[in-house]
């Protein structure tokens, strides 16, 4: 089975998959004064549908073996790990062809909002340290029912992520 080394999340390495912003660090110029600082529009998305805010809980696996993937043909997806750093695997847009040989894995720091572009292969991010990762998921309402292609990987396509 092929292994993939998880690496730090950087703008250059992640550019082909989407964008991210640390909601905890509050980087860049902020508006405000006195008792608050507001960091507006760090990640912006468009949607013709209502936006849903959901939670996802993922148990820590014994080994980070990936056996299935998903992508959304026309929809972006955002997630933010809330209680731990997370391991996120992604593969480039491929017109629906499974391209696990191009998969990369990133360590997403707790409190970092990640926006995946439409058609990027992924699946649920997994916890690095805790037994159960809790993440905020942001998608146009109903995406999981009407724009989600999930694929089970064959033995040659499966891979293990090493932290």
Domains of the chain: 2-162 (2.60.120.480)
Mean pLDDT on 122-143: 97
Taking the C-alpha atoms of residue 125 and residue 134, their distance in angstroms, rounded to an integer, is 10
Question: What residues pair up with 141 in beta bridges, in sequence order?
Answer: none
Give residue 29's pLDDT.
84
Question: pLDDT digit string (tens) for 27-81?
Answer: 788 898 889 989 889 999 999 999 999 999 999 999 999 999 999 999 999 999 9
CB 26 within 8 A of CB 116: no
Give residue 25's pLDDT.
83
Please give the structure tokens belonging to residue 115. Answer: 């926006």
Q: What is the pTM of this model?
A: 0.94
| Beta strand 7-8 pairing with 104-108 | parallel
């Amino acid at each position: 089975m092929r292994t993939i080394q998880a690496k730090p999340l950087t703008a250059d390495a992640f550019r082909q998959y989407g964008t991210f912003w640390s909601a905890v660090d509050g980087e860049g110029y902020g508006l405000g004064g006195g008792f608050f600082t507001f960091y507006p529009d760090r990640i912006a998305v468009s949607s013709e549908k209502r936006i849903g805010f959901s939670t996802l809980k993922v148990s820590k696996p014994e080994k980070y073996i990936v056996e299935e993937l998903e992508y959304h043909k026309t929809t972006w997806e955002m997630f933010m790990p809330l209680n731990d750093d997370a391991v996120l695997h992604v593969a480039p847009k491929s017109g629906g062809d499974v391209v696990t040989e191009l998969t990369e894995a990133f360590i997403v720091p707790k409190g970092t909002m990640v926006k995946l572009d439409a058609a990027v292969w992924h699946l649920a991010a997994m916890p690095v340290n805790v037994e159960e990762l809790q993440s905020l998921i942001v998608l146009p309402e109903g995406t999981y029912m009407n724009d989600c292609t999930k694929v089970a990987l064959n033995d040659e396509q499966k891979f293990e992520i090493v932290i």
